[in-house]
Structure 1
Amino acid sequence: MAHLALYKLDLLDEFERRTDSWNFGDFERRLAELWPRANYQDAKGIINAAHKEGRWPNTVKRYLLTNYQVHGNVSSEFNDTFADVVAAMSEQEKHDWQVA
Structure 2
Amino acid sequence: RDVVTQEAFDFGETLSAALLAAFPPKYVSDPSYDFGASGGSGALISEVSERTPEQRAEIEGAVNELMGHFGAHSRNLVRAIGETRERNPK
TM over 0.5: no
Computing the radius of gyration from Cα coordinates, the structure with the larger value is 2
Normalising by structure 1, report the TM-score. Answer: 0.26
